[in-house]
A and B are shown apart, each in its own frame.
Chain A
């Protein structure tokens, strides 16, 4: 089976993003259609709108690009699958027409009529939406996509969405059942953990091998207990940092945070929000009883608020990076090796925590694997379980990992906090013992990580084709796979 990526437009700089909003064309021309960050910023600023489609970085078929004007007859050849690729950019809420400004100009609305007619007419012409590193997919995103498809007369089963949100498949069914939509008209999801591949590529890159901790450094007495790096202070990170601060646990650990950083984008009156339980994510599936289950107790709230007041006095605690803005969008997401050498374990504060529809992990959880560091995770439930699906081993032999199965968010955060305290209280000798017990796991995990590098691209391509043929995939259609 041959696969071709079909594009609507070709500019002086090659194929142009599909589903691009035409309002950007004039300005894009001025920039010779070169999609540098600076140019895209210019486009956004000049149009008071964000360009919501981008470079299709699912690069496995980059050699097979073709212009749509050339496939009129070719599309009849059933041995070729024609993929109309769209890449979301920056905010999925823009791309999927959730945000008011993009209501009628979602990436689906902007598919050319020619492509739409092909997708309606030919089984072997499909639309592939690649979410890149943006995996958030709350209920309103799903409903918006289905509505967009309906008004554009496109059967959702012709749409394939690639993302690392492992909840998408279950959530999709949940929604279909709620609205009694026949399963023959369901969206298709594939799971692609792009950061897993990126981090694996770093591991097989000889030029940076000295940036990783050596196996000889695993079992040693370290200066500090825990390493916790924070950039954007989402709710769960602020809450957790507040709990740490309240218990005076910031000092003996390597913990970074910067309250003013990105404050304009995370507009929360934190203390008031904790009192009013604004961290709760209420959606169409939220039940009254959930409220009682999900909220923090009065006592816990007091601890969080007290801790936060202390954080406010500190404002900032830096480790390897003093200006966080300077590393926004950096190419090489590697932290200073000394941070890992000088601490026993990582507390990984993942990007997602409260949003039930956003079950995904990022590069953050892979960093301790690269650096032979044991870790606990402050993230969505089943994050460890998801890692295990990729073959990684975790640390249930040395501590309690039941936090991973805790689906009530407030309870999970407290469980992780309690585990943190327990590990923090361990002596150096106890830690050396733990490290001895997890050494094999750490080495195994890092070796496993390497197998997901570009060396295995063939497997991804084969998996992709396999899934594409069998359109009704029930669970875990992962594209990355170890040989």
Chain B
């Protein structure tokens, strides 16, 4: 099926992202619509909120597609799909004006002409792409519903594509919680796999991507090297699940055997102790009271450490592509991956879980349930032959943390010779995984989209990747 991407405004350098405040077009005009030359950061600091200049990219590789301006479409061909793309730019909260600065959302800037065409053509949809952070919820869906209502946009003519694997649950919750019968179409897109695949392929010379240039990738031979520490634990933002595990590791001194990064300035819960003591119920994870003492004590030690730098000093500059450091993997036996989301209602994977796969590293995941299961749907193998991975099925958050902690404890207490023996046994799996990761090419993505996208005709929620 042919997909036609429909834009409202076309500049001398091609189509301009939809949903942009037209007042900002002025700023782009003055820079001749040359995004490369435009100092967007400077502009954004003047208007005090973030604007998404991203063009939706998930369907970028779709070969049977075309771009049109809305004024140039004379009629909507029944056999084709027409999508009006808008990107959240990775920050759904900013997009929906839920942060400090209140502003009109991109849905406000959809023209009357587009709205009319949306209502009159069954095969024309707003395609809302939310890349990056996988968090999504029924409350956010409600906010989108309200915006549609306020802006006279048919809610059922919106397709939302995001990185969560909990869309089905979120939609049910939305309907139950708010009693709204209409619903948009939701698509799960596990972007992290092809994203990191591109980086790996670039490093292996299978593809060219200049942004991957600075990464270094460990190969399978690292398994024969002597290791400085048992585990590698890369942590940036200290969310509750990370904070809890970290505190436990500090308290038990297991942290001594771990190569870890830490920056308490990135602690999202600076009043962690206060909250534990006074209002533990406000935390997203229900922590048993008997654990408070242990956690507080470990947390204090963590605070004392303040910062631990591995490869990059400025944590804010670290992002998910082109910043791989092979030495970290060469110095350790296995990775502890603390995923972005943790709740059973926010099932998702990000680039974090793919990183050890790139470097032929075994891994344990502190993430939402079914993280390993999701990986397996892509064909990856995990490590249940060597240790208990039942933590992946555990729905209770705290029990899952404890299971992961206990597993880490067990693995760190293995001797070097035990590890050397075990990791040699894992060689085939590690090599297989790394090799498999190279296969998620753009043509593979295209095939997935083609196979799965049509499902939208029958279902409200689908996974295309």
Contact = CB atoms under 8 A, between A and B. Distances in A.
B210 interface: no
Given A22-B30, A29-B22, A32-B112, A114 B71 contact: no
A30 B114 CA distance: 14
Contact of B13 (A12, A28, A29, A69): A69
A118 to B, nearest CB: 10
Contact of A25 (B13, B22, B34, B111): B22
Given A114-B12, A114-B32, A115-B12, A10 B25 contact: no
Interface string B76-119: 00000000000000000000000000000000010111100000
Contacts of A11: 8-9, 69, 71
Contacts of A22: 25-27, 29-30
Nearest to B112: A32
B179 interface: no
Interface string A1-39: 000000011111111000000110110111010000000
A28 to B, nearest CB: 8
Nearest to B70: A12
Given A26-B22, A32-B111, A69-B14, A10 B9 contact: yes
Given A10-B10, A69-B12, A112 B26 contact: no
Given A25-B23, A25-B29, A26-B23, A9 B111 contact: no
Given A22-B29, A32-B113, A69-B10, A10 B72 contact: yes
A13 B71 contact: yes
Contacts, number: 72
Interface string A80-118: 000000000000000000000000000000001111000
A109 B30 CA distance: 11
A129 interface: no
Nearest to B24: A26
B120 to A, nearest CB: 15
A29 B108 CA distance: 12
A14 B111 CA distance: 13
B26 A9 contact: no
Choose among A23, A68, A69 the residue with the greatest number of B CB atoms under 10 Å from its CB. A69
B448 interface: no
Given A26-B26, A113-B32, A68 B113 contact: no
A420 B138 CA distance: 85
A120 to B, nearest CB: 15
B393 interface: no
How large, as a class, is the contact surface on chain B?
A: 20 to 34
B11 interface: yes
A26 B71 contact: no
A14 B30 CA distance: 21
Contacts of B11: 8-9, 69, 112
Nearest to A9: B11
Contacts of B14: 69
Nearest to B20: A29
Contacts of A28: 22
A64 to B, nearest CB: 14
Nearest to A11: B9
A8 B26 contact: no
Contacts of A29: 22, 25, 109, 111
A113 to B, nearest CB: 4
A67 interface: yes
A68 B11 CA distance: 8
A26 B108 CA distance: 13
Given A11-B71, A22-B25, A30-B22, 15 more contacts: A11-B9, A14-B72, A25-B26, A26-B22, A26-B25, A29-B22, A29-B109, A32-B111, A32-B112, A67-B69, A69-B10, A69-B12, A69-B13, A112-B32, A113-B34
- A-B interface, 6 closest residue pairs, ranked by CB to CB distance from nearest: A22-B29, A29-B22, A26-B23, A10-B10, A22-B26, A114-B12
24 contacts: A10-B69, A11-B8, A11-B9, A11-B69, A12-B113, A13-B113, A22-B25, A25-B25, A25-B26, A26-B22, A28-B22, A29-B22, A29-B25, A29-B109, A32-B112, A69-B11, A69-B12, A69-B14, A112-B11, A112-B32, A113-B12, A113-B34, A114-B12, A114-B32
Interface of A: 8-15, 22-23, 25-26, 28-30, 32, 67-69, 112-115
